[in-house]
Amino acid sequence: MTTSFQTNPVSLKDLMRECHEGKLQLPDFQRGWVWDQDRIIDLLASISEGFPVGALMTLDASGEVSFAVRPVEGAPAPIKPLEAYLLDGQQRMTSLYQSTFSPVPVATQTAKKRPIKVHFYFDIRAALDPDVARSDAVIAVPEDRIIRENFGRDVKLDLSCEEHEFEALYFPIDRIFDENRWQISAAQWMAKDPVARQEKWELINRFAQEVVNNFTSYHVPVIKLGKDTSRAAVCLVFEKVNTGGKPLDAFELVTAMYASEEFHLREDWKARRDRLINQKVLAKIEPVEFLQAVSLLHTKGRRDEAIAAGLEPPAISATRNSLLQVPLAAYKKWADKVEAGYVAAAKFLHSLKIFNSRDLPYQTQLVPLAAILAELGTAWENDAVRQKLAKWYWCGVFGELYGSAVESRFALDIRDFSPWINGKAEPQTVQRSSFEEKRLRTLRSRLSAAYKGVHALLMKSGAEDFKSGQPYDQTVFFDENVDIHHIFPEAWCKNQKIEPAIYNSIVNKTPLASATNRMLGGVAPSAYLGRLTKGNDSNPPIAADRLSAILTSHEIDETLLASDDFNGFMDKRRASLLSLIEAAMGKEAVRESILPMNPDDDYYGEEELEEAA
């Protein structure tokens, strides 16, 4: 087996020249240079002593992987054809290029992140003193090469011309690979007063031998990936080497690859996102998710074509690798349909009373939902199709199937849904979903998909606000700031010594407008029901039969609420909520034999564990 890379030492001077000429450039997804001056000083000091500073990694630019590129920061427009992409080592190469090869000031920052422009110098005497740490022999001077003190009134060190550099014995590091010319000028300077300047001339010569030669003879190990390296391998490389900052994702890699074909994916995505987030339920949509939906449709299209031709069908996929294989033509073919799928997804979710991203049970489930709707077109609005879509959706939510390892489920969903509406087997998301009754006793976290699902189901089933009697349509939801609140108020529960693990269960919560929740005032349910039926100056009384109907719309037994029977209420409402869930999923739940609330129950969903951490 042959390896797809080679490791060779390359002289630092040659690397700097390649950066300068444009033979070595950065893929466009590489982030900006952020090293501060202290890190640059440490890097320069290490090379000056011949210490290793780590390997670089490059990719042959003549292979199938093609990226848009940009020069190393500070380098001029390229004058030579691109030969390789710099995959790992951007910050080191940029730091070295700007400090050793470019005459312009180095744009860096202080340790406190304040942007500055400086030139770096070696203090020649300090660099030759074995008792001085080499990093202490490197200094940064301002853009005009003059260090001032006393609030800028006094000049401490003036290095603004070569004569001053020779006199002060400071070597400009941006001349390190042009040291011969600097030394020739130094020799001419010395010749004007050879006796007085002889000692300094000797120090300059020693410095050239002991320090400068370490730069000019320095070699960096370079791992060169061959032209046959796949896109997936390049992406994996970045996952391994990009240990600082936000990890690179597939969208950035695809952006750079499409840019090489003069298509600006980032701008295209921004325009689409700006349109989509007008729907609050889509506010958290991510570009990788959009690409996943495109990949699902692209790979399904290829699969359908292969089946029609009697060939071995390729897999449907939304993995990172598959995203990198989506050609630009396929993106252009499917992107508008996927965007329409997301718009339809928002409309569908609104019909389920899910109005904003905070109440969306699973962000991940939007991907197959948008892809399915993109494929269905307007057919999803048919009642029979809509009912199956809702069943699939609730099975995913209450089966809690989209918390992790979701890419394979995406593929199964898009593969199975259309055949299902044409009489074939149910999708595996429907087949494999189940809901356990005991889960209702442990749904306490707003991060839980099933918790959000119950909230939406109550509104979908016709819940009306306790005070206003309004059903929770989209206008009421946002205008009245509807959220999920306690039925037996928290303060009352604490006074009754009820455990938080019990009263914070979704069983004791329901959708209410914020003003309604404030009116409940932490008192016993019997007391706030009395307030509602009696009314006051600002709230007219609600007829008893009307209030009874409102409570019923929340699956609340009025008799148990009016008698402040917390335990009876919890048992009865748990059974009612379970019926709602079973109806939504189209299947029976797994019943439990022990019904009393157990505050020590440690059954938590994945999202709740994340919140607790």
> Residues 295-345: pLDDT tens digits?
999 999 999 999 999 999 999 999 988 998 899 999 999 999 999 999 999
Predicted structure pTM score: 0.73
- pLDDT for 227 beyond 80: yes
pLDDT tens-digit readout, 479-511: 999 999 999 999 999 999 999 999 999 999 999
Mean pLDDT of the chain: 90
Distance CA 451, CA 439 (A): 10
pLDDT-based confidence at residue 569 (cuts at 50, 70, 90): very high
pLDDT tens-digit readout, 433-482: 999 999 998 999 889 999 999 999 999 999 999 999 999 999 999 999 99
pLDDT-based confidence at residue 228 (cuts at 50, 70, 90): confident
Distance CA 503, CA 570 (A): 9
> 161-181 b/e with 16+ CB inside 10 Å = b?
ebeebbebbbbbbbbbbebee
Chain mean position to CA 351:
29
37 versus 2: the higher-pLDDT residue is 37
User: According to the model, what pLDDT value does residue 473 have?
Assistant: 92
468-472-476-480 Cα dihedral, nearest 10 degrees? 60
User: According to the model, what pLDDT value does residue 609 have?
Assistant: 36
pLDDT tens-digit readout, 3-48: 466 778 999 999 999 999 999 998 876 556 668 999 999 999 999 9
pLDDT tens-digit readout, 413-438: 999 999 999 999 999 999 999 999 99
- pLDDT for 575 beyond 70: yes
User: According to the model, what pLDDT value does residue 5 have?
Assistant: 63
pLDDT-based confidence at residue 150 (cuts at 50, 70, 90): confident
Contact 448, 473 (CB under 8 A): no
User: Nearest to residue 529, comparing CAs of 496, 497, 568, 488?
Assistant: 488
pLDDT-based confidence at residue 539 (cuts at 50, 70, 90): confident
Q: In what order do the strands lie in the sheet with 5-11?
A: 5-11, 219-225, 56-60, 84-88, 24-27, 69-70
